[in-house]
Amino acid sequence: MHSKSTATGSERAGGRGLSRRRLLAAGATAGVIAAAGCLETRDGPVPEPIVGDDRIDEDWRLVDESEAMIFEEAFGPVTVQAFEHTHVHEYVDVTEAFVETFGTEGSPVLFFATRVDLRPAIDRLPGGVGLDRLMEEVRPAAEDGFRDQLEESGVEDVSLEETGSTTVDSGHTARTARFTARFPIEGETSLPDGSTEPVNDVVGIEAPLGIWHDDVDVIVSGGAYPTEPLSEVLSRSLSDAGDDVPVLEGAHGDALATEPETFAESVDALLRSVE
């Protein structure tokens, strides 16, 4: 399903995106705001984030798209606004395998990409004045927004494990973060004898995130994937109940048997390719 929605910052408070006052705290100095009145401001909608890696068309599908004003604040004579354009993707074969195998919707294999436009462009002052400090404020706001996105997608107990930096495909330096979490799997599956058995288990999740400035806008991208093959979760759940494990065949069986390293490689490539 593909949905597209727009909302005001007040309507989306606490929801997806970078809806945090500190997003602009570093830029809200008298000198920066005074200079902001002389900066160019983009009119119209924020361009969509573009994923440059071909895997996004081969293995993933867009399941949600949103555009919103996530911040508006007056600083003296200047009103600063932040707008976002976000895409949410899911890994097709895993999602379809979940429906066939567990009779449930949702997926622990996800990818998010967001472009954030500040108006006026306080992130594009001459000589990059204040940009480093602004991005230091953006990072915790982006981390909070990413945590919200994961939780809205059914991921639980999201915990920040480490932060760092890396170079993305465009050559820019991204601040990075790695989260761990849990994804509950609840449903029922068909057994070889024709009966069904409830499945109630949890799979561990790794969720990397990258945040950078592409000389025009703030880019935020990240994803999530399981830390063990999903077929092992099914085997563990049914073995604990004393049932025979059904044989999973075809694309859906392959999807559930996929090793975490394969998903990690795909999510990392997508994350680095956003522009």
- Whole-number pLDDT of residue 30: 43
Q: Render pLDDT for 156-178 as a digit per residue (tens, 0 to 9).
A: 999 999 999 999 999 999 999 99
pTM (two decimals): 0.84
* Structure tokens belonging to residue 101: 């195998």
CA gap 49, 189 in Å, rounded: 38
Listed in order, strand segments (DSSP E) in 56-213 are: 60-75, 78-91, 110-119, 156-167, 173-190, 196-213
Q: Render pLDDT for 9-33 as a digit per residue (tens, 0 to 9).
A: 323 333 445 544 445 554 444 445 5
Q: Give the 3-state secondary structure of residue 169.
A: coil
Confidence of residue 6 (pLDDT cuts 50, 70, 90): very low
Segment 22-48 mean pLDDT: 62
CA gap 71, 119 in Å, rounded: 10
Query: What is the three-state SS of 181-200?
Result: EEEEEEEEEECCCCCEEEEE
Greater pLDDT, 79 or 38: 79
Q: What does the mean pLDDT of the chain come to?
A: 82
Q: Render pLDDT for 82-113 as a digit per residue (tens, 0 to 9).
A: 899 999 999 999 999 988 888 888 899 999 99
CB 229 within 8 A of CB 260: yes
Least confident span in 42-56, 147-161, 199-213, 249-263: 249-263
- As to burial, measured by CB atoms within 10 angstroms (0-12 exposed, 13-18 middle, 19+ buried), residue 188 is middle
- CB within 8 Å of 80: residues ≥ 6 apart: 24, 27, 28, 33, 36, 71, 72, 73, 74, 118, 119, 120, 122
